[in-house]
């Protein structure tokens, strides 16, 4: 296959080939990540004149009717998409998912209190460390460190402490390419908190099982700068009141309008993405489409003795084991081949494939907006590269 065969007709031309100024690559970045073409085109229009206001979306005031309407519509669309009942609040915060690492314990734990963490990768390690640094005593209910974070634990492996303030887990491990395909079972009455940064709205979510779910936008939800928090009102109200106002969840839940200037462009992109998912058929349709895409890549990897996927193929889930449907992480036989693969892939039109420094190798992130055709083309590239270099 010639490199040019890997280019989609709508995204012609890697930069080192003759191409039009509009040339685009398949974006397999772990985040900030790919947008659907139709959403990008809508943004292009709205940058100039947002829905007849005569102002671009970046210029409108957060105290005006256009933003009020945008905010209300975004919240309503999220409720519709994920079936969020009225006793949960939908908040738009800043500081990324990383800030939630200290905001959750700060709000929900008494000074020095304990929460349980299911440590399945880099980001959940960070959650534990940040909780400790904020002055609390996190307990690891599980750690996958000894097995290089290749696998997701079964419920029977979780060892909870006696009275944790909450249990925290990361539903998709962006760096190691593992994912929970079920919600972990936690002790009766203990609140469950989830970092869903890299798989939010990639499949249906049963929000009633959670007290708080957070996800910064830059993977499945929109552009970086805003963090979506969905939290049970009763949980929010139980939070501490003796911490600064802007660190309390209730400040964001209660205010009629946002408590300070919000990242309104980012919220606007979340609005477009949520409506795009609704137009695709909602979360069930997204789940089916994401499974199909991931299947194409894992089948190609499994058919080869050359590529070595990082995540365990076996595990608590009968179909996927511990494998992520969002981030497909694998290695080649040598680091030199890893490098060559990433370089040649870019020339063939597939960008941002280098694995995180913690794993090395290759990471193909195929979030909601990544097209199925891109997976098919990339699977062909895998076969072709192996034929030429194995």
Ligand X SMILES: Cc1ncc(COP(=O)(O)O)c(C=O)c1O
HSE (side-chain half, CA atoms, 13 Å) at 260:
6
Cα(143)–Cα(197) distance, integer angstroms: 20
Catalytic residue flag (residue 219): yes
User: CB of residue 360 vs ligand X: minimum separation in angstroms?
Assistant: 17
Q: How far is the CB of 224 from ligand X (least distance, A)?
A: 7
Please give the residue ranges that form the binding site for ligand X (CB under 6 A): 31, 96-98, 123, 170, 174, 195, 197-198, 216
- Could you say which of 46, 116, 123, 320 is catalytic? 123
Query: Minimum distance between the CB of residue 102 and ligand X, rounded to whole angstroms?
Result: 11
* Annotation marks residue 123 as catalytic: yes
> Could you say which of 130, 199, 211, 219 is catalytic?
219
CB closer to ligand X out of 98 and 161 = 98
Give the other-Cβ count within 10 Å of 127's Cβ. 27
**List 46, 116, 130, 195, catalytic entry:** 195
d(CA 215, CA 299): 29
Residue 327: CB minimum distance to ligand X, A: 8
**Closest-CB residue for ligand X?**
96
Residue (67 or 180) nearer to ligand X, CB: 180
At its nearest, how many Å lie between ligand X and the CB of residue 225? 9
Which is closer to ligand X, CB of 31 or CB of 191? 31
Angle between helices 282-302 and 264-280 (to 10 degrees): 80
How would you class 108 by CB atoms within 10 Å of its CB: exposed for 0-12, middle for 13-18, buried for 19 or more?
Answer: buried
Angle formed by the axes of helices 65-82 and 282-302, to 10°? 60
Q: What is the dihedral of CA 79, 83, 87, 89, to 10 degrees?
A: -40
- Closest to ligand X by CB, 98 vs 280, is 98
* Spacing of C-alpha 159 from chain mean position: 26
Q: Are 243 and 165 in contact (CB under 8 A)?
A: no
Note the helical H segments in the chain: 37-48, 65-82, 96-108, 122-133, 233-238, 249-254, 264-280, 282-302, 335-347, 372-389
Closer residue to ligand X, CB minimum distance, 109 or 175: 175
- Catalytic, 195? Answer yes
Counting every residue written for the chain, the total comes to 390
Where in the sequence numbering do the catalytic residues fall? 123, 195, 219
């Amino acid at each position: 296959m010639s490199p040019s065969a890997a280019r989609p007709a709508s995204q012609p031309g890697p930069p080192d080939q003759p191409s039009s100024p509009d040339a685009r690559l398949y974006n397999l970045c772990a985040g900030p990540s790919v947008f659907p073409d139709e959403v990008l085109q809508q943004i292009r229009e709205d940058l100039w004149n947002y829905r007849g206001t005569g102002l671009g979306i970046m210029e409108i005031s957060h105290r005006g009717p256009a933003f009020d309407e945008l905010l209300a519509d975004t919240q309503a669309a999220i409720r519709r998409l994920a079936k969020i009942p009225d006793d949960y609040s939908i908040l738009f915060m800043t500081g990324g998912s990383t800030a939630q690492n200290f905001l959750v314990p700060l709000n929900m734990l008494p000074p020095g209190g304990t929460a349980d963490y299911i440590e399945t990768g880099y980001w959940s390690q960070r959650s534990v460390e940040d909780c400790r640094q904020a002055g609390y005593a996190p307990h690891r209910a599980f750690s996958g460190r000894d097995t290089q974070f290749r696998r997701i634990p079964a419920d029977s492996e979780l060892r909870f402490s006696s009275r944790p303030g909450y249990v925290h887990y990361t539903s998709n491990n962006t760096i190691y390419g593992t994912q929970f395909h079920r919600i972990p079972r936690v002790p009766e009455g203990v609140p469950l908190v989830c970092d869903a940064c890299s798989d939010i709205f990639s499949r249906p979510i049963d929000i009633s099982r959670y007290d708080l779910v957070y996800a910064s936008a830059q993977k499945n939800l929109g552009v970086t700068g805003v963090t979506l928090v969905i939290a049970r009102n009763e949980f929010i109200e139980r939070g501490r009141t003796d911490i600064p106002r802007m660190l309390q969840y209730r400040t964001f839940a209660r205010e009629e309008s946002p408590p300070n200037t919000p990242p309104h462009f980012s919220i606007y992109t979340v609005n477009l993405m949520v409506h795009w998912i609704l137009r695709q058929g909602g979360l069930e349709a997204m789940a089916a489409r994401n499974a199909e895409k991931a299947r194409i890549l894992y089948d190609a990897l499994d058919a080869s003795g050359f590529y070595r996927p990082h995540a365990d193929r076996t595990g608590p889930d009968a179909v996927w084991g511990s494998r992520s449907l969002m981030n497909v992480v694998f290695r080649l036989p040598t680091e030199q081949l890893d490098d060559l693969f990433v370089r040649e892939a870019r020339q063939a039109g597939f960008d941002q494939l280098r694995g995180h420094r913690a794993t090395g190798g290759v990471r193909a992130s195929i979030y909601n907006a990544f097209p199925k055709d891109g997976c098919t083309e990339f699977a062909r590239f895998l076969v072709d590269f192996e034929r030429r270099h194995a």
